[in-house]
Amino acid sequence: MRYQICVSGAASGDTVKRSHQLAFELGKAISAEGKTLLTGATVGLPHYAAMGVMAAEGATRGLSIGFSPAASFREHVATYRLPTKEFDYINFTGMEYVGRDVHLVRSSDAIITVGGRMGSLHELSTALESRKVCGVLLGSGGLADYTPVLLENIEAPGARDVIYDTDPVRLVKKVIEALDRKYADFKHDGTDSQVSDVRAGRG
């Protein structure tokens, strides 16, 4: 399945300087697996992940989709001053940052946290409450490195199932394996007889 995997991370600050290459490798690994990257269409670590998708080569390159806080391309560029060229498609949510975060996470099959500040904490908590597969890249600073301690001391749904690793490629593979297990009973891929049945009025 072409899972939609969100990379969540800081737009600015120390973790961007420290972990931009890690974010890039996350995006590249997601793309190399033929999956779709979702980000907040923003700068910083999510932007590096989007660049990683574009750097991946081969016929299986994944897609890069951004969820913008803006309501239009003009607002995205002129008001929010956010990037555009690293995305195959931008969803202009018009929800500003807080609403955008929820829409982004709810549209994802999994979320991977790299670095991160308060916005990433909002996305992680939304992902946990939404029972999404959650991965955390340890060693990337910020929220990512505090997450194990945080979840040891604050009760959260799915906290025991959070996937941790220090290697971007390995973490992406673990997240995909978890998604495969989650969707093991789901056989419909949009091309089988179920579609024909629906179109024929039998579904």
Domain boundaries along the sequence of the chain: 4-199
Find the mean pLDDT for residues 163-188.
Answer: 94
The confidence band for 73, taking pLDDT boundaries of 50, 70 and 90, is very high
> What pLDDT digit, counting tens, does each position of 156-168 carry?
999 999 999 999 9
Sheet harboring 64-68: ordered strands across?
89-92, 64-68, 36-39, 4-9, 110-114, 133-137, 163-165
User: For domain 4-199, which CATH number applies: 3.40.50.300, 3.20.19.10, 3.30.390.50, 3.40.50.450?
Assistant: 3.40.50.450
The confidence band for 200, taking pLDDT boundaries of 50, 70 and 90, is very low
The full DSSP string for 78-100 is IIS----TT-SEEEE--SHHHHH
> What pLDDT digit, counting tens, does each position of 89-141 carry?
999 999 999 999 999 999 999 999 999 999 999 999 999 999 999 999 999 99
Q: Is the pLDDT of residue 198 over 70?
A: no
Q: Is the pLDDT of residue 202 over 70?
A: no
Q: Is the CB of residue 81 less than 8 Å from the CB of residue 49?
A: no
Q: Is the pLDDT of residue 193 over 90?
A: no
Find the mean pLDDT for residues 170-176.
Answer: 98
Structure tokens at 4: 């939609």
* Mean pLDDT rounded to a whole number for the chain: 92
> What pLDDT digit, counting tens, does each position of 29-62 carry?
999 999 999 999 999 999 999 999 998 876 678 9
The confidence band for 145, taking pLDDT boundaries of 50, 70 and 90, is very high
- Which helix (H) or strand (E) is 68 found in, with range? strand 64-68
Q: Which residues pair with 134 in a beta bridge?
A: 111
Q: Is the pLDDT of residue 188 over 70?
A: no
SS3 173: helix
The confidence band for 203, taking pLDDT boundaries of 50, 70 and 90, is very low
